Chain A
Amino acid sequence: DTAVSQTPKYLVTQMGNDKSIKCEQNLGHDTMYWYKQDSKKFLKIMFSYNNKELIINETVPNRFSPKSPDKAHLNLHINSLELGDSAVYFCASSPFYQPGVPNEQFFGPGTRLTVL
């Protein structure tokens, strides 16, 4: 059984389009995240939600809008796609959110977005 799943795996689109990436976790975790990994493999946090509430927004352009319909899902919608948005986007989840207490993040397989 897949713990953290993302769809689609690959997404190729034109500049200016709007697209969504979906993420689901079946681990019963409270906290979910979106990360962006660029072509140099640098992985950077974008957003974090705990029990459907936004707790981290890392100065991401407002063309990116996360939505958490329930604790098990965190989707990412991107408006007016730009060339620089090309990257691999990873969803992750962790069991709980307690400030300062480290816990494991479980990552999905990634969505490779290519903007032409």
Chain B
Amino acid sequence: TQLLEQSPQFLSIQEGENLTVYCNSSSVFSSLQWYRQEPGEGPVLLVTVVTGGEVKKLKRLTFQFGDARKDSSLHITAAQPGDTGLYLCADFSGGYNKLIFGAGTRLAVHP
């Protein structure tokens, strides 16, 4: 059974700081998705990465997929309070298009 580990579990920072969160898998990702979930809401897709070594940017967010496709990182530059939320990585896995989620990193950005 695939296990996704996300680190850190919790991160509390001040507005303007940079941060990186990580997602590691016990097996090769089929394709990796990052979601953000705000309190009281459902997750919202940020990005899908498929190719080892791929880097995608979404405004202040930079997503990297490891060459071996077993790890990924999300870097946020100049964090803002609106970035507060639970960041989830997920493997879009297997023949049934099942999403297997990590436990998430809970980010709080303080003004």
**Interface of A with B (CB < 8 Å)?**
4, 31, 40-45, 48, 55-56, 58, 90, 92, 94, 97-110
Is A48 a contact partner of B98 (Cβ separation < 8 A)?
yes
A97 to B98, CA, bound (A): 10
Is B45 a contact partner of A104 (Cβ separation < 8 A)?
yes
Closest to A91 in B: B42
A102 to B88, CA, bound (A): 16
User: Chain B nearest CB: distance from A35 CB in Å?
Assistant: 8
Q: How many A-B residue pairs have CB under 8 A?
A: 63
Q: Mark B10-45, 1 if CB is under 8 A from A, else 0.
A: 000000000000000000001101000100111111
Chain A contacts of B33 at CB under 8 A?
102
- By DSSP majority rule, is chain A's interface helix, strand, loop, or mixed? loop
User: Chain B nearest CB: distance from A44 CB in Å?
Assistant: 7
User: Chain B nearest CB: distance from A96 CB in Å?
Assistant: 9
Known A107-B43, A107-B44, A109-B40; contact A43-B95, beta-carbon cutoff 8 A: no
Is B42 a contact partner of A102 (Cβ separation < 8 A)?
no
Is B96 a contact partner of A48 (Cβ separation < 8 A)?
yes
Q: Is B108 an interface residue (CB 8 A)?
A: no
Chain B contacts of A103 at CB under 8 A?
97
Which B residues from 37 to 72 make CB contacts under 8 A with A? 37, 40-45, 48, 50
